[in-house]
Chains A and B, each alone.
Chain A
Amino acid sequence: MIKIELNGKIIAVKKTTQVKDIDNLSDKYNQENSIIYHNGYSANLEDTLQESDKLAIIKKNIQPSNDELESLISARHTPFVYEKLKQSKVAIIGLGGLGSNIAISLARMGVGKLKLIDFDHVEPSNINRQQYFLDQLWMYKTDAIEETLKRINPFVKLEKTPLKVTAENIVEILKDYEVVIEAVDGAETKSMIISSVLKYLKASYIIGASGIAGVYDTSSFTYKKISDRAIIVGDFEHEAKKGAGLMATRVAVAANIQANIAVRYILGESLND
């Protein structure tokens, strides 16, 4: 017998079991009414299952149980990514164009806990690039993004901090977080956050952004490392100012580069490239 995971539950099957032997999938009706993923990819019914394989069988038009739902949300993940991400936690400072996109991507991927930090409210000029809705106007961004994240992935724990991060409170706010993402608007605040984390939070790794305005080609985005514990994403040139706006497409690219670095750090991938 071998052990496999079926919709998040470990089961034992015979060594020669094929995908189609599970859950009566050789039956045409069952096949047509199921979406099947094997180790993160569309299943081939003839494939033989191996020890530790993951199988997700999603029944069309049926609301899965809460137990099953958590594993089915990650059915297209690369195997074992979800387990590592679920154990991790990330603090996001600033929930604007960068931070709202980062929070959504990390929640979709199943990061275990997110600390959401922003003092501001949703207002109409945010809608051109930030992940808020018109029915959320004037809510705290921490409350609005919580509402959205719970609709996407209720298995992520959320901690809300509706405060402005200052040189005085930053250590207290971030002290329990190894992975921190700087996603604020102001250049001076960015600099203060990066400097403070590097100086006072020696166990933390921080991912910042600088130069993300406009609709310039996204291939101008690059990385700069500061010590081994900070990496900054952007073109380091195009600031938001009079005559230069912040746009959904380019901001979301930068946000997801930051989020991807956070994920790579959590998974222990090399950050040298």
Chain B
Amino acid sequence: MIKIKCNGKDSEIKENQSIMDIINTYNLNPKSVVVELNRDIILYADFENITLQENDVIELINFVGGG
């Protein structure tokens, strides 16, 4: 297990989890989530490629439709 901070909360996750894996655990549509990892914006195309590391700080901002 590794420690990360997700949306301001400390949490423990299994090793070798991608950003896509984390989004899926929250049952969100990955294409409607804005992801900030250690203050960098990560685009959807990279969600599968980036694996979370110990002490990462990740923010997931989910968007819902309507305008």
| Interface positions of A (Cβ within 8 A of B) | 94, 96-99, 183-188, 190-192, 194-196, 198-199, 208-213, 224, 226-227, 230, 232, 234, 236-241, 246, 251
Residues of B within 8 A of A190 (CB): 32, 63, 65, 67
Asked, given contacts A195-B43, A226-B36, A227-B36, whether A211 binds B31 with beta carbons under 8 Å apart, the answer is: no
Among the interface residues B29, B44, B65, B67, which one has the most CB atoms of the partner chain A within 10 A? B67
* Residue in A96, A212, A236, A241 whose beta carbon sits within 8 Å of that of B62 in the complex: A236
Other A-B contacts than A187-B29, A226-B34, 8 sampled, CB-CB below 8 A, are: A94-B67, A191-B63, A195-B44, A209-B66, A212-B67, A226-B61, A239-B65, A241-B65
Asked, given contacts A187-B29, A188-B29, whether A195 binds B34 with beta carbons under 8 Å apart, the answer is: yes
A104 CB, min distance to chain B CBs, angstroms: 15
Interface residues on B, range: 20 to 34
For the complex, is B14 an interface residue (Cβ under 8 Å from A)? no
B57 CB, min distance to chain A CBs, angstroms: 12
Residues of B within 8 A of A188 (CB): 29, 31-32, 63
How far, in whole Å, are A234 and B44 apart by their CA atoms in the complex? 23
List 30 A-B residue pairs with CB atoms under 8 Å apart, sorted by A's residue number: A97-B67, A183-B67, A185-B67, A186-B65, A186-B67, A187-B65, A188-B29, A188-B63, A191-B44, A191-B63, A192-B31, A192-B44, A195-B44, A196-B43, A198-B34, A209-B67, A210-B63, A210-B64, A210-B66, A211-B66, A213-B66, A227-B39, A227-B41, A230-B34, A232-B61, A236-B64, A239-B64, A240-B65, A240-B67, A246-B67
